[in-house]
Structure 1
Amino acid sequence: MLFKKIVLAGAIIMGMTTTTIYAATPDLPGYTDGALVIQVKKTSEQIDAMSGIIYSQVKSTRAIRQLRMSLLIPRTQDLKPAIVYFPGGGFTSADYEKFSEMRMALAEAGFVVAAAEYRVVPDTFPAPVQDGKSAVRFLREHAAEYGIDPNRIGVLGDSAGGYLAQMLGTTNGDKQFEQGQFLNQSSDVQAVVTLYGLSNLLNIGEGFPENVQKVHQSPAVTEALLVNGTAFRDWPGATISSDPKKALNASPMGHIKGKKPPFLIMHGSKDTLVSPLQSAQLFKALKAEGNRVDYVLVEGANHGDITWFQKPIIERVVNWFKQTLGEPTKSAASSTKASANANL
């Protein structure tokens, strides 16, 4: 025995790792008087990170736009469910390296976690939805490479990213949004988490003061730019309500009929940017169609504030995905093949 089984200082809890301090015998390799000797219980796996992966190339008449994603991959031989995170940004930016706290927590729970950028204004609908579906197809195409179970892919988004996650969940099987590479793969998703997302572009300011609601009737607000495009030369632009049918087709609420994957909807009661009624109406509509949907209203939380980075929020999302998509499973080849990402 290299250690005397005498605990000197009990257990030290550091995150998810337990360390125990022992009295050491002189024959412990590397030991010298004054050394602190600890034992560490291994409770988590190594996470490999990849960034700048080109998941789609969008061709135009003059250029090719390359869309990127990052990946967090638990270094295990298990067949893992995957999550695609879509960042918020008001339809004007899509910084896919955001929300690292949530993404790492999901990876530590055993999920492969992708974070994908997507086209924003001045590009118009349905460009973001096409990109989101391309990201899902990319993961299925490369499922064996990354150790992903292609039958268990969920999406997560906040704000405009929540809108995009909702759109993917409400348009499973809808071919009108399929464009790009790997069209032999399905873009269907099996679970959706949306945080303070937009469900109906026609009434984002519903319940807000009248002056705020009037702002949303400007042709210069981002939802109008997303649906109708920017003003240019003789084109003055158009308000979001100028063509309600077009705006509803660009909204999750316009695709609510029928069977949908499970949804977790979360919103802050003090959101001053996207009305909490956006989430409430989505919840009621999905429930009315007989779908599995959970709605969590976070009292006192504003739009994207520090509340959303707290442990109870993150744990709720992680646990919901675990319950919905399941845990990693041992693959048939686990005993004979190396980890899918062991050489990254």
Structure 2
Amino acid sequence: MKNVFTTLLLFSCLISAPSITAADERVKIIPDVVYGHKFGMALTFDVFQPEKPNGAGVLFMVSGGWYSRWTDPQNMLSWFKPLLDEGFTVFCVRHGSSPKFKIPEVVEDVRRSVRFIRLHAKDYGVDPSRLGVWGGSAGGHLSLVLGTTSDKGKPEAKDKVLQESDRVAAVAAYYPPTDLREFVDEKSPYYQRFPALQFDKELADDFSPLLQVTPDDPPTLLIHGDQDKLVPISHSENIMQQFKEKKVPVELLVIENAAHGFRGDDQTRASQAVVKWFQKHLAKQAD
């Protein structure tokens, strides 16, 4: 159990010890922006603004096993550097964490983060129509949930944040779980290992991106190792087929001989693909 949990959190561990360069020092960091509250606690994200912004924003889902941990923003710079170098503003989003909060509550948090950023887009120098989302493992799952189940907001809501849409314009997901129906079964080994899965199994369809694909979903990049034993590559293959059937732009990058979590050249290849994807789909539209 411990080994599996550690593996799922590998995505988060990869960002824990980066090196800082002189170029990184030119990035403006706005730490701990509060985008909501729950149970007396603040929901926060950090903003990373590049020296030469291109007007597009990318939300990074801080989530491994649907646990969301705080990390000193300075220690995230090398992880986001490929995007920052190309002018993307990055929002490092934390959600209400497992084990206290389950997936339905986590999803509401990340929806709110998109709405909040859209409402305050001008403050961060980004175009609200050019927001992408990216994450790995549980973060990849949340990215796909945002991509496949967005809404237009509630104009009648008293909270101005809730009046905003949570739609994103592009998605990138590393080794994402896309079908939770088996995971939320009490007999499943995942159910006990990951407390966020312990919610009403009748709601599993609602939080399974595989079952929510529609023709208006944003372009989606999937990246998966073919030796992933924790979240088998079939999760990405199956949702890719659904995207294709609905004629949604989609690509699947298979990292050969890679398991759950990328290192070295595999990580570099995946990161380059993410940057290229967002450059293609978040580029400024011609007037």
Judge same fold: TM > 0.5, yes or no.
yes
Amino acid at match of 1:50: I
The answer to whether the 8 A contact 1:47-1:108 is kept is no
CA contact (8 A) 2:152 2:167 kept: no
Contact 1:44/1:108 (<8 A) preserved: no
Q: Verify the 8 A CA contact 2:147 2:170 in the aligned structure 1.
A: yes
Aligned: 1:185 with 2:164: yes
How far the C-alpha of 1:266 sits from its partner, in A, is 0.6
Contact 1:95 1:117 in 2 (8 A): yes
CA distance in 1 between partners of 2:78 and 2:187 (Å): 33
Q: 2:24 matched to 1:67?
A: no
Structure 1 residues without counterparts, runs of 5 or longer: 1-42, 205-212, 230-237, 331-344
- Matching of residue 287 in structure 1 with residue 257 in structure 2: no
Distance in 2, matches of 1:285 and 1:179, equals 37
- Which whole-Å deviations, capped at 9, do the CAs of 1:28-65 have from their partners, x for residues lacking one? xxxxxxxxxxxxxxx9993211211112212xxxx422
Quick check: 1:264 aligned with 2:221? Answer: yes
Matched AA of 2:105:
A
Aligned counterpart in structure 2 of residue 310 of structure 1, from 240, 254, 267: 267
CA distance in 2, matches of 1:292, 1:99: 30
CA shift at 1:228, angstroms?
A: 3.5
Tell me: CA distance 1:227–1:273, structure 2 relative to 1, closer, same or farther (3 Å).
Answer: closer
Q: Does 1:125 align with 2:106?
A: no
Q: CA deviation at 1:251?
A: 1.3
Given the alignment of the two structures, is residue 84 of structure 1 paired with residue 22 of structure 2, yes or no?
no
Question: What secondary structure is seen at the aligned counterpart in 1 of 2:236?
Answer: helix
What's the C-alpha RMSD, in Å, of the aligned pairs? 3.2
1:68–1:328 CA distance, 2 compared to 1 (3 A) = farther
TM-score (norm. length: structure 2): 0.80
2 CA distance for matches of 1:306 and 1:215? 32
Which of these two proteins has the greater Rg computed from alpha carbons? 1
Percent of counterpart pairs with the same letter? 26
Aligned equivalent of 1:32: none
CA distance in 1, matches of 2:110, 2:84: 20
Contact 1:72/1:104 (<8 A) preserved: no
- Name the TM-score, length of structure 1 as normaliser: 0.67
Alignment partners' CA distance in 1, 2:286 and 2:54: 5
Q: Deviations over 1:231-268 (max 9, x none)?
A: xxxxxxx8xxxx4x421212112312332100000101
| Contiguous gaps of at least 5 residues in structure 2 | 1-22
Q: Give the number of aligned pairs.
A: 261
* Paired residue type of 1:90: G
Partners of 1:271 and 1:303 within 8 A in 2: yes
Structure with greater helix share of residues: 2
CA contact 1:165–1:192 (8 Å) conserved in 2: yes
Which whole-Å CA distance do the structure 1 matches of 2:28 and 2:177 have between them? 32
| Residue from 14, 32, 39 that aligns with 1:52 | 32
Cα distance, 1:320 vs structure 2 = 1.1
| More strand as a share of residues | 1
Correspondent of 1:226 among 183, 196, 204: 196
